[in-house]
Amino acid sequence: MEESFQNPSYSIYKALRSDQKEALKIARKVISGTGIGLPKITALSYYCGEHFKYIDKELVYKEILSKKLDMIILSSSKGIVHALEKIEPYGTIFTNKTVSQWIRLGLPEIIMHYILNIKPTETYWFTRKNSLIYRILLETSKIMKKYLRKIRVYHVYPYGCKNPINIYKALGMGINELIKTGKIPIQVGKCILVKERITKTILG
C-alpha cells in the first residue's frame, strides 16, 4: 500500500486536551495493542475499500490543506483518526464487541470534545442508519445534547437501496457534492440521501 498524499503532520491529538489525548492513547492500546510493525501512511491513503472508493480523495486533501474542511474517520483500531493522520495498517474490524469496547472506553466523549475543540459551524456524519458505527455516533449525540443548538450536527444516510455498492457510492458521492457545493444531493442512483439534523427531540 502506497502513500498518495504529502502529509503536513496532522494528528487527531492536536485538537484534544491532555486528558482526552491520554484517554485515546490508552483506548488504542487496549483495542489494538502495539501494532504489527508496518510503515505508517495517511488514513486517506490507507482506507481504500468500498466505503471509500467513491470519495474524491484529491478534493478532500486540497480542501483540508486550504482549511475549508476537516475530516475524521471512525476506525476499529484507532477510534478516530484525522484523514491526513499517519497510521499503521491493522487487522481489526468493527464488530459488536469492538463497538461496545470503544463506547465503554469513552470514544463518544472523545469525539464530542474533538468537535467542541475545533468549533465547526456544521458537522456531518455519513453512515448507514443502522450500521455498527452508528451506535458510536448515537452515543456521541446523546452526550452532546446541550450543545446541539450551537453546533448543527447532521446524519446523512441512504434510503431506498439495499445493494452495498449503491449505498457506499451514494455516501461517497454525497460527501463529494457537499464539499463542492455545500449541499447534499437528494438522490444518487437508486439511493435517496436523507439529511437529518440531530436534535434533542430525535434523541428523546
Q: Would you kindly state where each structural domain of the chain is located, as residue ranges? A: 12-203
Instruction: Give me the count of residues in the chain.
Output: 204
- Exposed, middle or buried, 152 (CB in 10 Å: 0-12/13-18/19+)? middle
pLDDT classification of 121: cutoffs 50, 70, 90: confident
pLDDT in tens, 155-195: 999 999 989 999 999 999 999 999 999 999 999 998 999 99
Predicted confidence (pLDDT) at residue 145 exceeds the cutoff of 80:
yes
pLDDT in tens, 60-93: 999 999 999 999 999 999 999 999 999 988 888 8
- Whether 63 and 179 have beta carbons less than 8 Å apart is answered as yes
Q: Are strands 191-197 and 187-188 parallel, antiparallel or unpaired?
A: antiparallel
Number of CB atoms found within 10 A of residue 49's CB? 8
Q: Cell 456524519 maps to which residue?
A: 125
How many Cα atoms occupy the beta-carbon half-sphere of 123 within 13 Å? Answer: 25
